[in-house]
Every structure is written in C-alpha cells, then in structure tokens.
Chains A and B, each alone.
Chain A
C-alpha cells in the first residue's frame, strides 16, 4: 500500500515537473520569438548592436554549461553511489556558478552600449532574455547544492531534469542572440 502511494506521488511530481518545464519553454519561446521579430524590424540596428557582444565568451559558457549538464547526467544515473552522486551535483552547481560569473563579466563590458539610442531595443531584449536565463541558472544551481546535501534519487531526478532544460534553452539562444 505504501509502495503504491509512493509511486502515485512520484508520478504526480513528474507530471508537475513537466508542466513547469513546458511553461518555462513557452516563456523562453515567447522571448526568443520577440527577439527574432525585433531583428527583422530593425536588422541594421540589431546587426551593429550585436558587434558589441562577445560570442567567444558565450561559446566558453556553452562549454561550461554542457560540462555541467554532463555532471548532472552522471548524478542522475542508475546505480550511482551516494558519494559519486553528491560530488557530481556539486561540480554541476559550481560550473553553473562559473557560467553566472562569466556572464556577469560579459555584461560589464556590454552595459555601456545599452544607453545608445540606436541600440536600446536590442539591449533591452538581450538583457531580458539572457538575464531571465541567468536567473534560472543561478537559482537551479542553488537547488543542485541543496539536493547534493541529501541526494534522494527522486529529487536528483527532478533537479537535473530542470538543469538539462536550462541547458537546452541556452543551446538555442546562443546562435540566435549572438550570431544569426
């Protein structure tokens, strides 16, 4: 009976997780869509504004986030020892914080161009989109650390799934915001 109850609870948790994930993907999708439309409306202004971004740092951040995702996947693997699970979660979180640090450094170089009238729309959308993503990385990074403290398999599964989706969003955002 207790086992059946636990299975029902786990199923409900998974369902709520995917509802959350799809609502996140919808929110990011709206922002990315708005960015694409705005680029079509003012292609020259957006093209010039984009020259002030640092795609090299963004590519480095892609490597950092993918490595973090790899560690998260190890943590969520079947038959992994508690010590290994914990270590992988901590490494994943630390790499997430490295992503945040690199992004803040990147912002510090870009923010001075945001006030220029011709670039204002671009930078408003850029900071909104990448900032929204950055908040997610920071927040779920903290959750990874909390789960690492007591790594119950169900919690590890939930938090790493969320982490991979944040990774997925960055993979799509990077070429659209910085390059294409």
Chain B
C-alpha cells in the first residue's frame, strides 16, 4: 500500500506526463531512418526514469523491500541498455 499523499502522487503523475511529452519529438524523429543515433539513449533514458518513478512512487517501493525495489528498477534498465547496444550494433553494421 502506497504511503504517498494524493498531492505527491499528482506531482509524480505530472512529471511522468512531462517525460512523455519531452520524448515525443524524439519519438517522431526516430521513426524516420535518418534520425541521429543520439536520440536513442535520450529516449531510453526517459523510459528508465518513468519506470523508476512508477516503481518508487506509484508502487510505493521507495520505503519497501530494497531487493524488490532494485530488481524492479534493474528490469527496465537491463532492456534499455540491451536496446541501446542493439541500436549501436545495427548502426555500425549498416554503415560498414
């Protein structure tokens, strides 16, 4: 059960919405194949930040078991790093 107040939850929601909106220009540019590779880590960083906020504030794990908190933050981080590595490998192989 979350110990965050409705006001704190609203703040978290607003930050999450801002992160989605901040990523929108990158999202629309990335769909075109000519988009710079630098957009990829930016977008994945936004995803990890959003995931972290959901785990800490919505799931209420900021004060919960540390192993659970670390595991749930590590899951999106792992896939973000894997996706960034994949994007780099693909870019290098296509340019070579």
Determine how close the nearest CB of chain B comes to the CB of A77; give it in whole angstroms: 5
With A161-B59, A168-B55 as given contacts, are A180 and B84 in contact (CB-CB < 8 Å)? Answer: yes
With A153-B1, A164-B59 as given contacts, are A172 and B31 in contact (CB-CB < 8 Å)? Answer: no
How many residues of chain B are within 8 Å of chain A by beta carbon?
A: 50
When C-beta atoms are compared, the residue in chain A nearest to B87 turns out to be A180
With A73-B4, A78-B1, A167-B58 as given contacts, are A175 and B90 in contact (CB-CB < 8 Å)? Answer: no
Q: Does B38 belong to the interface (CB within 8 Å)?
A: no
Q: Are A18 and B58 in contact (CB under 8 A)?
A: no
Q: Does A141 belong to the interface (CB within 8 Å)?
A: no
The interface size bin for chain A is 35 or more
Interface residues of A in 62-118 (CB under 8 A from B): 62-63, 66-67, 69-70, 72-74, 76-78
Interface residues of B in 4-52 (CB under 8 A from A): 4-6, 9-10, 12-13, 16-17, 20, 23-24, 26-28, 30-31, 33, 40, 43-44, 46-47, 50-51
| B interface secondary structure, majority | helix
| A interface secondary structure, majority | helix
Q: Are A66 and B86 in contact (CB under 8 A)?
A: no
With A56-B28, A76-B60, A164-B59 as given contacts, are A180 and B1 in contact (CB-CB < 8 Å)? Answer: no
List chain B positions with a Cβ less than 8 A from chain A. Answer: 1-6, 9-10, 12-13, 16-17, 20, 23-24, 26-28, 30-31, 33, 40, 43-44, 46-47, 50-51, 54-55, 57-60, 68, 71-72, 75-76, 79-80, 82-84, 86-87, 89-90, 93-94
List chain A positions with a Cβ less than 8 A from chain B. Answer: 18, 22, 25, 29, 32-33, 36, 39-40, 43-44, 47, 50-51, 53, 55-56, 59, 62-63, 66-67, 69-70, 72-74, 76-78, 153, 156-157, 161, 164-165, 167-168, 171-172, 174-176, 178-180
